[in-house]
Structure 1
Amino acid sequence: MKEFLDNDFLLQTDTAKHLFHDYAEDLPIIDYHCHISPKEIYEDKRFESLGDVWFGGKQSDGSFFGDHYKWRIMRSDGMPEELITGREDELSRFKGFAKALTKAIGNPMYHWCNLELKKYFGITEPLNEANAEEIWNKCNDLLKNDPDMSVRGLIRKSNVAYVGTTDDPIDSLIWHEKIAEDKSIDFLVRPSFRPDKAINITKEGFAEYIGQLARAVGKESLDSVTDVIDALTDRVEFFANHGCVASDHGLDYIPFRMMSMEECDKAFKKAMKGERITIEEAEGYQTALLLALGRAYHRHGIAMELHYSCLRNVNERMYRLEGPDTGFDMISQNTCGGNIAALMSELDKLGELPKTIIFSLNPADNEQIGTILGCFQSSEIPGKIQHGPAWWFNDTKQGMEEQMKSLASLGLLGNFIGMLTDSRSFLSYTRHDYFRRIMCNLIGNLVENGEYPADDEALKMIVSGISFYNAKRYFGIG
């Protein structure tokens, strides 16, 4: 029986161990999509407790911010909500989480949490209810007294070369500017363009947001779809000038419905007045914006990430109580593969299709995505169209394996740009280690099973590429 979380954790064969330890383990991390705060990086925030860095919770302004993966674990064990997202009794919350985590056999959270304790705090015994207070005190002592346990220290300890944050088009990017000017920050931090609020014409707060976008480009109002497109493309250029190499679109599904600009304007003006618009009108407006943004991304060399098939905030009572991104989302089923292909084809007609990364939260879409890729690759860059790594509810051991097996079966696994954290926690970089182990084990099994030759030079290229070099090349990181 193997020891839990030993040096060869998840590595089942000698080939897997060789590939991981010699070609993957020590490579830097490119975390090209996450939700951490550039302000906290610049200010080199220190954490008050392990609860602060691990859980988050209710902030001083009444909003909630934290790791909803952990919140869902606690809810599944019947913990009261005031203890999960409240901040009044941090030790009781930690003990409750430790109790729940013990039951999380087969859940990646069990691995992630213990990997984080091992890497950052030197704790090798698995967390449980009995040792929770001792571990709590040891971690808090390190967070308080170890100079390397600040935000920047944790990033350096994780060997991170690049952090791609997620930023709204109206953001001033002031914290990115301060980071760029600070020569003591020896890793790259760049903004990523996320225009969801301008695209989601049927969502609450749309008209108010368009007013904010207008002010961001120095106008009193945006009165047409052309005005919105001009404002967004202006902000794309602003972001590009700040080193942006990726955009992100988190949509319920990817629409494609060609409409005249006059029809789009009609829908836009109705929405600005608070009037109800049809699904067809919404899709026409959204398609016009996605096409215009795709062209802008191509001009500036910015990759377009498409995230879809998440049904958000399904528990209305808890959404009203705590707001979005607090752990009440689920996998959705959408049949929008044809729409994605149509959107890409329209951009491709005039050579304006940007580098594109496609993520579906529904693993049933893996094969469909794999076949879309092969329709739009080009000589601009190897793997121009990517199947994004197993995302959110799919970044389990099984989910990662299935995504990579699908990609390997239908495309070129060797050009895959690898893992991201998609996280709000500065301890989540262990997910890259987790991914690399799973990837090396999968490839090692293919070799040991005689399905790929033991060609060490080729295997080194594949493993090191997926771990680091493919993303470095894909995003043009220095």
Structure 2
Amino acid sequence: MGKFIHPDFVLESKTAQKLYHDYAEKLPIVDFHCHLSPKLIADNHKFESLGQIWLEGDHYKWRAMRTNGVDEEYCTGNTSFRDKFQKWAETVPSTIGNPLHHWTHLELARHFDIFDLLAPENAGKIYDKATEMLQQDEFRTQNLLKKMNVEVVGTTDDPADSLQYHQALKNFSIKVRPTFRPDNVLKTEDPEFFNAYISKLESVSGKKIKTLRDLISVLDERHAFFNEVGCKASDHGLDRLYYTPNFLDGADKSFEKVRNGEKLSDAETEGYRTYVMYELCKMNHKRGWVQQFHLGAMRNNNTRMFKKLGPDVGFDSIGNPQDANKISRFMDLLDTEDKLAKTILYNLNPSDNEMFVTMLGNFQDGKTPGKIQYGAGWWFLDQKVGMEKHLRDLSVLGLLARFVGMVTDSRSFLSYPRHEYFRRILCNHLGQEIDKGLIPNDQKLLKTVIEDICYHNPMRYFGF
């Protein structure tokens, strides 16, 4: 039996193989949205084991393990990483058809030169070999990034963060840029959490936040500080975009109410969130940033496990289709005032694909190529079928050639083969269209399109 991960993996034709190997394979990686720890990069951290680097914090794997009947102790519990890895190895054969099966074997191949299929019977051997390799300096975090030919890393950072690690990395050969993620100022559903967070902002800013205007002023100061440290983008992980026509009326009263520990009504929440997002987006425009909206996650569905483990441990899912009217009205509000920044919209519900792509065309400005972008397949859509649909929908309803490409959206330092995975899928898609006679086999044109999507477009778009 030949290797599962081979040079033409995913590439189904000679045409696709030529496109990938000639144009995409060796391009640097621009990972403008991820959740890597800047501290681990700045510290040039060495991981203790394959279990630690692979299973610590990876809710994708945890979901699969739970579905395979693995006890929680082997996911988020305190058992050893070797034992957790054994349970992961027992799960991997059942992930056939799931992107985890592809990612697992791409990561073993690219980082550790291991081409065996992971299974219970060889788990110990693979674990020991990879763990031994991880003790070498070339497997410290900075060298892992260099080995994968990463040129830019865009981390995800709270406005209250000090950015000390980004500042420590200013002379690092790879650009590690912060991304402004102010989601916590919208979380009014829990007044106790909200007020604790406002206190944190007060502490880092040295200013009292008594009114809504005080909050906006402090956020603007933090925004300016992020800009000084090299930030080029904001990111907003929202259930949806908010909009109500009368958002300017009463938002300050709503802020006072939640500061006093009271819960807001649905109408008050919508008004407050619309107002704060409106102000944040004006800041993004003022400083020439890109704003990213990750829309549609239904989070923390399992109350029992949320109380036990907290958020971001694998109990989230795809939410309802998005409200096209609210997206349109909010973007139109900013556009009417000429305050609409470069914007990337990511959807999580695949039924929103076509709506999102057609929404982009409403707000292009005729000056900035691809100003409003359809973001790469995200989270549950970050898989072969999801990416193929993304590429088809963007091609027929927008301009694929202006697409800013892939992100890992990952907390794992081993996840960079996801860019390779995307590039193979992109070249296979184009190869299929060429072989059908639907795209011309013009190598000069194809080289430009592929190199732009994989590298040049994001570099230009963000100004890296």
Does TM, scored on the shorter chain, surpass 0.5? yes
2-structure distance, mates of 1:250, 1:223: 26
Q: Which residue of 1 aligns with 2:168?
A: 178
- Deviation of the 1:2 alpha carbon: 7.5
- Aligned equivalent of 1:237: 224
Q: CA deviation at 1:289?
A: 1.1
Q: CA deviation at 1:291?
A: 1.2
Give the conservation status (yes or no) of the 8 Å contact 2:247–2:272: no
Q: What residue in structure 2 maps to residue 23 of structure 1?
A: 23
Cα distance in 1 between the residues matched to 2:216 and 2:413 = 35
What corresponds to 1:476 in structure 2? 463
CA deviation map 1:415-471 (0-9, x unaligned): 000100110000000100000000110011111100011111111111111111100
Equivalent residue number for residue 62 of structure 1: none
Q: Is 1:217 matched with 2:178?
A: no
The aligned counterpart of 1:442 is 429
- In structure 2, how many angstroms separate the alpha carbons of the residues matched to 1:345 and 1:191? 28
Alignment-mate amino acid for residue 49 of structure 1: S
Find the aligned partners of 1:88 and 1:2 in 2 and give their Cα distance: 36
Contact 1:382–1:415, Cα closer than 8 Å, also in 2 = yes
Which whole-Å CA distance do the structure 1 matches of 2:274 and 2:247 have between them?
Answer: 11
1:106 maps to what in 2?
Answer: 97
Following the alignment from structure 1 to structure 2, what is the Cα–Cα distance between the partners of residues 174 and 161?
20
Matched, 1:55 2:55: yes
Letter in 2 for 1:219: K
Q: Which residue of 2 aligns with 1:78?
A: 69
1:355 aligns with 2:342: yes
Write out the 4+ residue segments of structure 1 that deviate beyond 3 Å after TM superposition: none
Determine if the alignment matches structure 1 residue 124 to structure 2 residue 115.
yes
Structure 1 Cα separation of the partners of residues 275 and 179 of structure 2: 21
Counterpart in 1 of 2:415?
Answer: 428
Tell me the CA shift for residue 270 of structure 1.
1.0
Task: Give, in whole Å, the separation in 2 of the partners of 1:257 and 1:206.
Answer: 22
Partner of 2:81: 90
Which residue of the other structure, out of 266, 286, 289, is the alignment partner of 1:279?
Answer: 266
Residues in 2 aligned to 1:94 and 1:215: alpha-carbon distance in whole angstroms: 41
Residue 126 of structure 1 deviates from its aligned partner by: 1.0
In the alignment, the residues of structure 2 paired with residue 262 and residue 16 of structure 1 have an alpha-carbon distance, to the nearest angstrom, of 56
Measured against aligned partners, the alpha-carbon deviations of 1:80-137 in whole angstroms (never above 9, x if no partner) come to 1112222432222111111111111100000001100000001011111111100001
Distance, in Å, in 2 between the alignment partners of 1:301 and 1:291 is 15
Shift of 1:261: 4.0
After TM superposition, the structure 1 stretch with the greater mean CA deviation from structure 2, 306-315 or 87-96, is 87-96
- Give 1:260 deviation, angstroms: 5.3
SS at match of 2:223: helix
2:145 equivalent to 1:155: yes
**CA contact 1:32–1:420 (8 Å) conserved in 2:** yes
Task: Give the 3-state SS of the residue equivalent to 1:130 in structure 2.
Answer: helix
> How far, CA to CA, are the matches of 1:330 and 1:339 in structure 2?
22
Q: Give 2:10's aligned residue.
A: 10
> In the alignment, does 2:206 pair up with 1:227?
no
SS at match of 1:356: strand
What is residue 256 of structure 1 aligned with on the other side?
Answer: 243
In 1: Cα distance, 2:381 partner to 2:2 partner:
26
Listed one character per residue, the Cα deviations across residues 149-205 of structure 1 (whole Å, up to 9, x for unaligned) are 00001000110000000000011111111111xx3x210001000000012222451
Alignment coverage as a number of residue pairs:
463
Task: Report the aligned-residue RMSD.
Answer: 1.3
Equivalent in the alignment of 1:338: 325
What's the TM-score once normalised by structure 1's chain length?
0.95
Output aligned runs, 1:135-150, within 5 Å.
Answer: 135-144=126-135, 146-150=136-140
SS in 2 for 1:102: helix
| CA distance, structure 2, for counterparts of residue 94 and residue 382 of structure 1 | 46
CA distance in 2, matches of 1:258, 1:201: 20
Contact 2:30 2:153 in 1 (8 A): yes
Question: 2:308 & 2:17 partners in 1: Cα distance?
Answer: 47
Do 1:255 and 1:336's aligned partners in 2 also have CA atoms closer than 8 Å? no
Note if 1:400 corresponds to 2:390: no
Indicate the SS of the match to 2:121. Answer: coil
CA contact (8 A) 2:377 2:387 kept: yes
8 A contact 2:108–2:114 mirrored in 1: yes
| Identity, % of aligned positions | 44
SS of residue in 1 equivalent to 2:408: coil
2:281 partner amino acid: G
**Of residues 68, 71, 74 in structure 1, which corresponds to 2:59?**
68
Secondary structure of 2:160's counterpart equals coil
Check conservation: 1:383, 1:416, Cα contact below 8 A: yes
Provide structure 2 residue ranges, at least 5 long, that are not aligned to the other structure: none
- Match of 1:131, SS? helix
Letter in 2 for 1:168: D
Q: Structure 1: how far apart are the matches of 2:47 and 2:242?
A: 42
- TM-score between the two structures when normalised by the length of structure 2: 0.98
Using the TM superposition, name which of 377-386 and 299-308 deviates more: 377-386
Aligned to 1:44: 44
1:462 to 428, 431, 449: 449
Indicate conservation of the 8 Å contact 1:253/1:334, yes or no.
Answer: no
